[in-house]
Amino acid sequence: MAVPDSDPVKADLLWIAEDFRNIVSSALDDELDLPSNGTRWTNRQLLFHMALGQNIALAGIPLLGLFSRLPHSASRNWSKLLDACARPYNWVNWAGSAAGGRVLKPQAMTGMMDRTTRIIVAWYSHADSKALDRGMTMPVRWDPYFLPWMSRRDILEWAPKHYRHHRAQLSLTTLRS
């Protein structure tokens, strides 16, 4: 049975895509390349990073499912390795979003966000509690909203936290009203 749109996780995921679409469609072209607030990215690059966050949530579905089927030590050791690589990860995260924001047009970012959200919501709508409870140890140095252990439900609840955090950093005048 499909999950109703009123389900808080589904509603938040759908809100992300709708809000992103609204931001991109109302953003003034000359503001997209202005610096964002509190990051080294421009607004355009930060928008790419925000769309990428939704893709991270999507990638988490199979990844957390896989690690949940392995011995606990597998995800614990993997997360320790990833945490040890936090500095290079942070650079790649910044550089990838900086490059992606320059290459991908905002309308293409909206398409990416919409497609990714549709896939996540379709999976979530048919997942049972056992599938949602599968999870793994997480690299907590990679994101301030990562918990030491996260289920698939947690990673889907992480996406709106990540999105809202970065949405507040956009310096677009259309968001100030």
Q: What residue segments make up the domains of the chain, in order of their start? A: 8-175
What letter does residue 40 receive in the DSSP assignment?
Answer: S
| pLDDT in the model for residue 176 | 73
Running DSSP on this structure, what letter comes out for residue 35? B
pLDDT tens digits along 57-75: 999 999 999 999 999 999 9
pTM of the predicted protein model: 0.94
What CA–CA distance (Å, rounded) separates 115 from 40? 27
Per-residue model confidence (pLDDT) at position 6: 82
For residues 124 and 94, give the distance between their C-alpha atoms in angstroms, rounded to a whole number. 29
Q: What is the pLDDT of residues 83-132, one digit of tens each?
A: 999 999 999 999 999 999 999 999 999 999 999 999 999 999 999 999 99
Contacts of 19 (CB under 8 A, 6+ apart): 163, 167
From CA 150, how far away is CA 156, in angstroms rounded? 10
Q: Which fold, 8-175?
A: Four Helix Bundle (Hemerythrin (Met), subunit A) (1.20.120)
